[in-house]
Amino acid sequence: MDGFINILKPQGPTASDMVVRLRGILKQKKIGHLGTLDPGACGVLPIAVGKGTKLFDFLVFKRKKYRAFFTFGKATDTLDSFGALVEEKNFVFDKDAMKNALKSLEGVQMQIPPAYSALSVNGVRAYTLARKGVSPDLPPRRVEIYSLDLVRQVEEKVFCIDIECSGGTYVRSICRDVAQKLGTVGYMSGLIRIASGKFSTENACTLKEVEENPESCVLPLTEPLKELPETIVEDRFYKDLSNGVKIPTNMSEIDLCRVYCKGEFWGLGRNENGFLKLVYYLR
């Protein structure tokens, strides 16, 4: 079985928990998620199966879309609703100030990850150090926030925010940074991942649906690659392609394209000095 499962993760289990469950259901060893999702969050969790795992590096940093809930005036050690309260600070809602704060965080920036994260520090998970009272030394990471939009005020100090950002962006850190812009503190009180690359809630499956009919939930290898152009290799080069022989090409020097020969999908390739090179071999 090769391809992807766009699982709809419920609140509670970790992304790794979902992988373990699916490995048991599918009886598949080669399986992994394409970007973690906090236990307290729900929504889209793309899972690569079989040869789909070869595309991890290509897909993991694709754009993400979230609907988040930010609570201001209180801070927790984990920056979400599951942590211990560590600070309270006055907060009075001003719509213009909120919109300006959100707008100021759009664009490329160096973001400091939460102390409670799965990032490694000298081989140790940051959350392991944080639980021991040690502040992990986490360097800022380059991320891009494409849009931050105020949807509505849910309660006096709770707000619904729509976010579109690059992979690797921490929404909890966005909440912390927005709060700082507003002169207060805050934590993420809810999170739904609406989309991850080409995977969205619209074509997601629940774990129960996978258990009942796994084949119907597996998307083809080409599903998240439809935005890429395709190149058709002449049938006479089939054997050369199979043997890894360089094949001349006149295709434009674009980043990547889908490669087909005799109607078969071979993977992703590019033009390198006039020859086709398969960067991701998926046969």
Percent of the chain scoring above 70 in pLDDT: 100
Q: Which residues are annotated as catalytic?
A: 38
Residue owning tokens 């309270």: 88
Confidence of residue 48 (pLDDT cuts 50, 70, 90): very high
Asked whether residue 35 carries a pLDDT value surpassing 90, the answer given is no
Which CATH number goes with the domain that contains 85? 3.30.2350.10
d(CA 198, CA 206): 17
Tens digits of per-residue pLDDT, 228-278?
A: 998 899 999 898 888 888 888 877 777 789 999 999 999 998 888 888 888
Number of domains the chain contains: 3
| Average pLDDT rounded to a whole number, residues 56-76 | 93
Contacts of 67 (CB under 8 A, 6+ apart): 151, 160, 161, 162, 163, 191, 192, 194
DSSP state of 161: E
| Average pLDDT rounded to a whole number, residues 160-168 | 96
Sign of CA dihedral 230, 235, 237, 239: positive
Q: Are 165 and 208 found together in one domain?
A: no
Residue 47's domain spans which residues?
A: 3-62+198-224
Q: Are 192 and 146 found together in one domain?
A: yes
pLDDT at 241: 85
- Three-class DSSP labels, 24-51: HHHCCCCEEECCCCCCCCEEEEEEEEHH
pLDDT at 240: 86
Contacts of 27 (CB under 8 A, 6+ apart): none
What's the pTM? 0.89
Q: Are 22 and 117 found together in one domain?
A: no
Q: Which tokens belong to 11?
A: 């609140």
Q: Are 69 and 115 found together in one domain?
A: yes
